[in-house]
């Protein structure tokens, strides 16, 4: 009973009090070592530093730096102009531009909040002038930005690959169709919304505009081709791809587009360093917490309890999904993945779920959690960026939470959506 209190109840109490997540994990781990686990206190620093001694983890700083450079260096703006030229005058084209731009920029920046900030600042004025109210506009930007958690190469999938001992490339491949499906479902919704409210149409698309936008955005659009082409072509590993992405984005923004100078680069690098440190300190704290939780025998006990209940697979997945959605609305994806993967993966594997498929289920859950009230991180980012009341954003995101929950159920119960490109079998 004491172990349950230390590992589960105490962290919830500290979270409600307002402690930062890394401190919650460190305090819970320290108390566990002192009162529950029969291990020396030296395991804390050993496991914390051991959590960082991982080559794939190097991808995270490089991807974050590349995302900051692209977000502040004009690449995001050129991508949005290009998408706008493609969508043209169709009713609902502006919200569709937001969704497609978020998918593209999410694949480049790899951070949900960064996608909200970069894409949101650029599309917000156009959406408002196009006849969409504040509630819909901000809610669309808030939910669309969360696709960065799912679309490869996702930082969340890198962390899951480390935690679950799965191939990062397999997870990236598995995330392609689910991320496109989420974008398609959102696009259908915004088209129906726009037509039901008879929102005005925009300027008609033309080949001249498309060609001009494509020529201007050519180097910017080359970013995902460099990353994915290199990974799937066997030229470099995902970690090396992150370094290539950082160098490529730097070369494009500084020497081709000339949108940033050396002083801007220093400012952007500092912003990236702060974000990197926030993620890595969570990784170190979650590393010792996850190790103690795994060695405590609690995951094995959960597997035995689930097996004793003889639940069908669909009920097991439903329980896990609901739990992940709840936790995802309180915790950031890096912390949630590092904490929950050792706990839940044995449960779902015992039920017959492919670990790569479960990685996608977890990523989609946590992406929805980014804009699920009351504490989804994207909600607070949008409030700060667009100066909108939280209550209005809460009400606005409800349709997106519901339709994406339905998409989550489809992804959960149809493994082929995730595994078809991987070639894995359940």
Looking up tokens 């896990």, which residue turns up? 320
In what helix (H) or strand (E) does residue 110 lie, and over which residues does it extend?
A: none
pLDDT for position 424? 45
The 10 Å Cβ neighbour count of residue 260 is 18
pLDDT for position 425? 39
Supply the pTM of this predicted model. Answer: 0.86
Tell whether the model's pLDDT for residue 426 goes beyond 60: no
Answer yes or no: are the C-beta atoms of 168 and 152 closer than 8 Å.
Answer: no
CA distance 248 to 253: 9
Closest of 237, 257, 244, 254 to residue 78, by C-alpha: 257
Tell whether the model's pLDDT for residue 408 goes beyond 90: yes
pLDDT for position 201? 63
* Angle formed at CA 66 by CA 359 and CA 165, multiple of 5 degrees: 25
Using pLDDT thresholds of 50, 70 and 90, give the confidence band for residue 200: low
Average pLDDT over residues 273-295: 84
Mean pLDDT over each residue of the chain, to the nearest integer? 86
Phi, psi at 358, each rounded to 5°:
-65, -35
Using pLDDT thresholds of 50, 70 and 90, give the confidence band for residue 407: very high
Q: pLDDT (tens digit, 9 = 90+) per residue, 222-250?
A: 888 888 888 888 888 888 888 998 999 99
CA distance 364 to 360: 6
Q: pLDDT (tens digit, 9 = 90+) per residue, 148-198?
A: 889 888 888 999 998 898 999 999 999 999 999 999 999 999 999 988 887
Average pLDDT over residues 12-18: 84
The 10 Å Cβ neighbour count of residue 55 is 10
Q: At what angle do helices 21-35 and 10-17 cross, to 10 degrees?
A: 150
- The full set of domain ranges for the chain reads 39-419
pLDDT for position 161? 93
The 10 Å Cβ neighbour count of residue 423 is 8
Q: pLDDT (tens digit, 9 = 90+) per residue, 88-128?
A: 667 778 888 889 988 888 887 777 888 888 888 888 888 88
Tell whether the model's pLDDT for residue 353 goes beyond 90: yes
CA distance 331 to 300: 24
Average pLDDT over residues 316-341: 87
Closest of 277, 375, 332 to residue 21, by C-alpha: 332
Average pLDDT over residues 294-299: 80
Percent of the chain scoring above 90 in pLDDT: 27
Percent of the chain scoring above 70 in pLDDT: 97
Using pLDDT thresholds of 50, 70 and 90, give the confidence band for residue 202: low
Q: pLDDT (tens digit, 9 = 90+) per residue, 30-86?
A: 999 988 888 888 888 888 888 787 777 888 888 888 888 887 777 878 888 888 788
pLDDT for position 368? 94
CA distance 217 to 203: 20
């Amino acid at each position: 009973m004491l172990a349950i209190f230390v590992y589960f109840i105490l962290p919830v109490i500290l979270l409600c009090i307002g402690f930062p997540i890394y401190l919650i994990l460190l305090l819970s781990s320290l108390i566990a070592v002192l009162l529950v686990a029969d291990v020396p206190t030296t395991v804390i620093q050993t496991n914390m530093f051991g959590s960082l001694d991982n080559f794939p983890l190097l991808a995270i700083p490089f991807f974050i730096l590349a995302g900051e450079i692209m977000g502040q260096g004009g690449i995001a703006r050129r991508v949005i102009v290009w998408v706008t030229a493609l969508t043209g005058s169709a009713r609902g084209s502006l919200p569709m531009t937001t969704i497609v731009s978020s998918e593209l920029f999410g694949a480049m920046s790899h951070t949900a909040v960064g996608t909200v900030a970069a894409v949101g600042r650029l599309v917000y004025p156009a959406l408002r002038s196009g006849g969409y109210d504040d509630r819909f506009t901000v809610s669309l930007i808030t939910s669309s930005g969360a696709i960065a958690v799912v679309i490869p190469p996702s930082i969340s999938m890198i962390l899951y690959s480390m935690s679950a001992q799965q191939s990062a490339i397999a997870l990236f491949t598995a995330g392609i169709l689910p991320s496109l499906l989420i974008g398609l479902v959102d696009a259908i919704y915004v088209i129906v919304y726009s037509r039901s409210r008879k929102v005005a149409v925009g300027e008609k698309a033309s080949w001249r505009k498309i060609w001009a936008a494509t020529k201007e955005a050519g180097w910017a659009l080359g970013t995902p081709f460099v990353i994915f082409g290199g990974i799937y072509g066997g030229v470099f590993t995902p970690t090396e791809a992150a370094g290539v992405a950082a160098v490529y984005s730097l070369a494009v923004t500084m020497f081709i587009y000339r949108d940033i100078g050396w002083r801007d680069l220093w400012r952007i690098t500092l912003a990236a360093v702060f974000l990197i440190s926030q993620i890595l300190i969570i990784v170190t704290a979650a590393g010792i917490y996850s190790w103690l939780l795994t060695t405590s025998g609690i995951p094995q006990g959960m597997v035995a309890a689930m097996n004793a209940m003889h639940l069908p697979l669909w009920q097991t997945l439903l329980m896990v999904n609901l739990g992940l959605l709840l936790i995802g609305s309180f915790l950031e994806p890096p912390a949630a993945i590092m904490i929950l993967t050792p706990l839940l993966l044995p449960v779902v594997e015992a039920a017959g779920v492919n670990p790569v498929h479960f990685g996608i289920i977890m990523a989609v859950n946590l992406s929805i959690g980014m804009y699920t009230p009351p504490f989804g991180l994207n909600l607070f980012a949008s409030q700060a960026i667009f100066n909108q009341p939280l209550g209005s954003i809460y009400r606005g995101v409800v349709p997106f939470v519901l339709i994406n929950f339905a998409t989550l159920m489809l992804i959960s119960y149809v493994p082929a959506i995730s595994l078809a490109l991987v070639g894995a079998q359940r």
